[in-house]
Chain A
């Protein structure tokens, strides 16, 4: 028989947080956790130390696997909070059913916690740049939305050589952007400032346009000649990085990509949206040259004590068991690089994503970076094979407001093509 879950008062929660090793679970959306005030919160964000476990995930059959992956231990007390009492209770009951012995509810988060300036709140510094499907729908249908103070916006469906994905269903009003237009198909590096200017103007993007990017994930298959064509959300992060480098001032990512849009029940369109080219981007490109580093800087970073070259690759690539790509032969890593674990392979980012493709809660990313010495006091240049995964890691750090970050654009492709560069394999000492 289900026990009656007890409800904690704000004072009780405060005391228990101070005196016990509580596991605090936030069941609101990933976006609310990050800082969006969409459920009546006076202050956005979450209670510091809380684990993000959106109620949406409780419908997944493998929910308990997700819980375990977040190291939420059955023997320690759990307190579940949210903005909707019913939702909060559903998740709390699931914990009970899964054998968690000590589960309580906290229903005063919106009414009391977010309204009391004396109580701590934490949020993702640039949460405005990771938007929800609901936010985007509001912007598209009304021309306005919270935390948007502009008169120009463009929604871009990012892909790699896969216009068909756009044609099969995109967010109404979105134009498609092929990563090949922003990166060279020879080096896979960002294109020249002149080329970028032309492409952005053709897309109707000026330096002061709010640009919202998203992609479609469709089961990348390493046996395909072009697996990147199915890794659309990664393509969106790649474009976001290049747009930030170029100088677009307000770049945003739809959290979770097209999956979040359809999960929220919004319709897709199969009609091409007309492009509205502009005459002038309006600023010198690149506005942020420091965001991209190349081979000489990468070598210098390796020699510097307070700088990291972060390998956003899979373990098998890192130890030299796989090159990761059908067009890269050499296997191994850049000696001295730290392991920034992407997930399973070159086209998956499980370690930076939630199970529904939304971006993983930033405290979790921060925690695994900290373990390998990737901290905000250092300069961190992220690399992967050709810059996609590195761009997603870069964007994560940018959202956190880290001051010295970059993408080593050439990555393993460039490094391993230069015979003079050393290569390391095996498990690092």
Chain B
């Protein structure tokens, strides 16, 4: 029997809890870089214009498909820290219903200190990626209503 998937907020809370063990920014950085190294990335054939997210300092690719009423994402970047951030974001957003992805308050970014501790340029990139994920959520949510 399949376990009930965690909700978006449950995952956000879990990440906030995970981040409590870090004493400072450098430890958080090392963790995010490690996540980036482990992140499977995306097949090169999908790394096209259509899937690139404009406005990020390093190239970021993102694509989604709907499976059983939930959205599955693939994401990649040529920068390790971006890959780590994408891994964190996908942990939250992957396999969630599109409407919930579109509407959720993404509070974990604030609570784990990414909003205040990332450099403004990197923060810009993060905001753009989150906006794109939620946009894809909105698009799929509309399609599922047949609009």
Residues in chain A within 8 A of chain B (CB atoms): 57, 59-66, 94, 97-98, 217, 219-223, 259, 316, 321-322, 343-345, 347-348, 350, 353, 355-357
Check A59–B120 contact: CB distance below 8 A.
Answer: no
User: Which stretch of B7-15, B25-33, B66-74, B87-95 is in the interface?
Assistant: B25-33
Contacting A at CB under 8 A, from B65-118, are 79, 81, 113-114, 117-118
Assuming the contacts A355-B122, A356-B119, asked whether A345 and B54 have C-beta atoms less than 8 A apart, the reply is: yes
* CA distance in complex: A161, B57 (Å): 25
Max chain A C-beta neighbours (<10 A), residue from B118, B121, B128: B121
4 extra interchain contacts, Cβ-Cβ under 8 A, other than A219-B55, A221-B128? A61-B29, A65-B29, A219-B124, A344-B56
Min CB–CB distance B58 → chain A (angstroms) = 8
Instruction: Answer whether residue B39 sits at the interface, using C-beta atoms and an 8 A cutoff.
Output: no
Instruction: Answer whether residue B131 sits at the interface, using C-beta atoms and an 8 A cutoff.
Output: yes
Check A62–B55 contact: CB distance below 8 A.
Answer: no
* CA distance in complex: A323, B56 (Å): 17
Cβ-closest chain A residue relative to B49: A321
Instruction: Answer whether residue B47 sits at the interface, using C-beta atoms and an 8 A cutoff.
Output: no
Max chain B C-beta neighbours (<10 A), residue from A64, A321, A322, A347: A64
Chain B residues near A344: list those with CB within 8 A: 54-57
Q: Is the interface of B mostly helix, strand, loop or mixed?
A: helix
Chain B residues near A348: list those with CB within 8 A: 55, 57, 124
Min CB–CB distance A317 → chain B (angstroms) = 11
Check B49–A62 contact: CB distance below 8 A.
Answer: no
* CA distance in complex: A348, B55 (Å): 7
Check B25–A59 contact: CB distance below 8 A.
Answer: yes
Assuming the contacts A57-B119, A353-B121, asked whether A62 and B54 have C-beta atoms less than 8 A apart, the reply is: no
* CA distance in complex: A351, B49 (Å): 21
Assuming the contacts A221-B128, A355-B122, asked whether A62 and B81 have C-beta atoms less than 8 A apart, the reply is: yes
Please give the number of chain B residues whose Cβ is less than 8 angstroms from any Cβ of chain A in the complex: 25
* CA distance in complex: A219, B18 (Å): 28
Min CB–CB distance B131 → chain A (angstroms) = 6
Cβ-closest chain A residue relative to B24: A61
Min CB–CB distance A234 → chain B (angstroms) = 13
Q: Is the interface of A mostly helix, strand, loop or mixed?
A: loop
Check A350–B119 contact: CB distance below 8 A.
Answer: no
* CA distance in complex: A356, B123 (Å): 10
Max chain B C-beta neighbours (<10 A), residue from A65, A222, A259, A356: A65
Assuming the contacts A62-B29, A97-B26, A350-B121, asked whether A343 and B57 have C-beta atoms less than 8 A apart, the reply is: yes
Instruction: Answer whether residue B127 sits at the interface, using C-beta atoms and an 8 A cutoff.
Output: yes
* CA distance in complex: A55, B56 (Å): 24
Chain B residues near A259: list those with CB within 8 A: 120
Cβ-closest chain B residue relative to A220: B55
Check B117–A322 contact: CB distance below 8 A.
Answer: no
Q: How many A-B residue pairs have CB under 8 A?
A: 79
Chain A residues near B121: list those with CB within 8 A: 350, 353, 355-357
* CA distance in complex: A219, B135 (Å): 15
* CA distance in complex: A418, B121 (Å): 36
Min CB–CB distance A212 → chain B (angstroms) = 21
* CA distance in complex: A356, B118 (Å): 10
A-B contact pairs, 25 of them (CB 8 A): A59-B25, A59-B117, A60-B119, A61-B26, A62-B118, A62-B122, A63-B29, A64-B26, A64-B29, A66-B119, A219-B124, A220-B55, A221-B128, A259-B120, A316-B49, A322-B49, A344-B55, A344-B56, A344-B57, A347-B55, A348-B55, A355-B122, A356-B119, A356-B121, A357-B121
* CA distance in complex: A190, B117 (Å): 39
* CA distance in complex: A321, B127 (Å): 24
Chain A residues near B124: list those with CB within 8 A: 217, 219, 348
Check B55–A221 contact: CB distance below 8 A.
Answer: yes
Chain B residues near A222: list those with CB within 8 A: 54-55
* CA distance in complex: A61, B123 (Å): 11
* CA distance in complex: A355, B29 (Å): 16
Chain B residues near A219: list those with CB within 8 A: 55, 124, 127-128, 131
Check A94–B26 contact: CB distance below 8 A.
Answer: yes
Chain B residues near A357: list those with CB within 8 A: 120-121
Cβ-closest chain A residue relative to B117: A61
Chain B residues near A59: list those with CB within 8 A: 25, 117
CB < 8 Å neighbour of B120 from A97, A220, A221, A355: A355
* CA distance in complex: A94, B49 (Å): 38
Chain A residues near B54: list those with CB within 8 A: 222, 322, 344-345
Chain A residues near B120: list those with CB within 8 A: 217, 259, 355-357
Chain A residues near B128: list those with CB within 8 A: 219, 221
* CA distance in complex: A97, B25 (Å): 12
Contact bitstring B33-69, A, C-beta under 8 A = 1, else 0: 0000000000000000100001111000000000000
